[in-house]
Structure 1
Amino acid sequence: MQLIQIDKTRYRKHLNRVIIGCGLALAVGSLAISQTLIALFPDESGSHFHWNLLGVIVTSISIGWALNKYRGHDYMTEVVYVWELKQALNKITRKMAKLKAAGREGDADALLAIHYSYAGSRLLWQLDDNTITMDELAIKQAELDTVAAKYNLTLDAKEYNEAILAKF
C-alpha cells in the first residue's frame, strides 16, 4: 500500500458524516426492529432484552453490509484509505519487536518496514491532528536513519511491500 497525501478537510468531513450516519442508523434501526418485535411478540414478564439485542445485531450487520458495499464509492475514498492504512500499520506493529531486532542486524527489509510504519504513522497523526507524539516519532526516525546509514541503506516508503513481513 502506497502512502499518499489526502485532503485532510475532505477526509475529516467525510469521516464525521460516516460516523454520525452509522450512529444514527444504529439507533433508529435497532429501535425500530426491537419495537416492532416487541409489539408482535410481547413478553408477559416485561423483559425484552432478546428483542433489543436482535435489533442491535441486525442493524449492525446491515450497517456493515452497507459500508462494505459502498467502500468503492468516491465519497468513501479517504475514509477507506485511512482504514486500510491503519490495518497495514497494525500488521507491522504486531511484528515490531522482531523487526527492530532484525534491523539492528542490518536487515534491509526490517528497516524498510519500520520506515514505512513511521511514515504511515506520521501521515495518520497529521490527519487526526495528533501532533503531541510527533516529537517522539522524529526521535525514532532519527535513530532509524542512523542505523540505515550505518549499513549504507536508503529507505523509501514507496518500496515497501506487505509481503516482506512474512519472514518475521
Structure 2
Amino acid sequence: MQLKNIDKQLYRSRLNIVIVACIASLAISSLAISQVLIQLFPSEFGSHFYWNLLGVVASAIILVFTLLKLKTHPKMHEVAYVWDLKQALNLIYRKNRKLLAAAKQGNVDAMLALQFSYEGSRQLWQLDDNTITLSNLNDAQLQLDNWVKEYNVELDISSYHSGLLKAF
C-alpha cells in the first residue's frame, strides 16, 4: 500500500454519507426482514426475539457484502483508502514490539515499516482530527530518526509493502 494525499473535507463528507447510509439501511432492512419472518413464522408465545435477531444479523451480512462491492466505486475512493490504511497500520501495530527491537539493531526493513506506520498514522489522525496523540508519534519518529542517522540508512516509504512484515 502506498500513502496518498486525500482531501480532508471530501473524505469527511463521503464518510458521513457512508455512515448515515449504513445506519439507515441497517435499520430499515433489519426491520423489514424481521417483519417478513414474523409474518411467515408467527410465534404462539408472542416473543419474536430470534426473528428480530436474525433480521439484524442478515442485514449486517448484506451490508458488509454491499460495502465490499461498492469499495471500488469512485465515490468510495477516500473512504476505502482510509479503510485500507487502517488495516495496513493494524498489521504493523501487531508486530510493533518486534519491529522496534529489530530497528534498534539496524534492520532496514523494520525501520521502513515503522516509518510507513508513523507517516500513515499521522495522515490518519489528521484526517480524523485526532491530534491529541501526535506528541507520542513525534517522540517515536525522533527515535526512529536517530536510528536512521546511527545506521546511515535512507528510507523511501514508497518501497514499503506488507510482505516485509513476514520476517518479524
2:160 counterpart letter in structure 1: Y
Where in structure 2 are the equivalents of 1:1-168 lying within 5 Å? 1-168=1-168
Question: 1:35 & 1:153 partners in 2: Cα distance?
Answer: 63
How many residues are aligned here?
168
Q: Which runs of 5+ in 2 are unaligned?
A: none
Task: Find the residue that maps to 2:130 and give its secondary structure.
Answer: coil
Question: 1:47 & 1:81 partners in 2: Cα distance?
Answer: 43
Q: Deviations over 1:98-144 (max 9, x none)?
A: 10111110000001101110000000000001111111111110111
| Displacement over 4 Å in runs of 4+ | none
Question: 2:166 & 2:41 partners in 1: Cα distance?
Answer: 52
Deviation at 1:55, TM superposition (A): 0.7
Deviation at 1:74, TM superposition (A): 0.5
Superposition CA RMSD, Å: 0.9
Task: Find the residue that maps to 2:3 and give its secondary structure.
Answer: coil
Deviation at 1:39, TM superposition (A): 2.1
Question: 1:145 & 1:72 partners in 2: Cα distance?
Answer: 36
2:51 counterpart letter in structure 1: W
Question: 2:151 & 2:54 partners in 1: Cα distance?
Answer: 58
Which deviates more from structure 2 when the two are superposed, residues 152-161 or residues 17-26?
Answer: 152-161
Identity %: 54
Which deviates more from structure 2 when the two are superposed, residues 125-134 or residues 155-164?
Answer: 155-164
Give the alignment's TM-score, normalised by structure 1.
Answer: 0.97
Give the alignment's TM-score, normalised by structure 2.
Answer: 0.97
Deviation at 1:33, TM superposition (A): 1.0
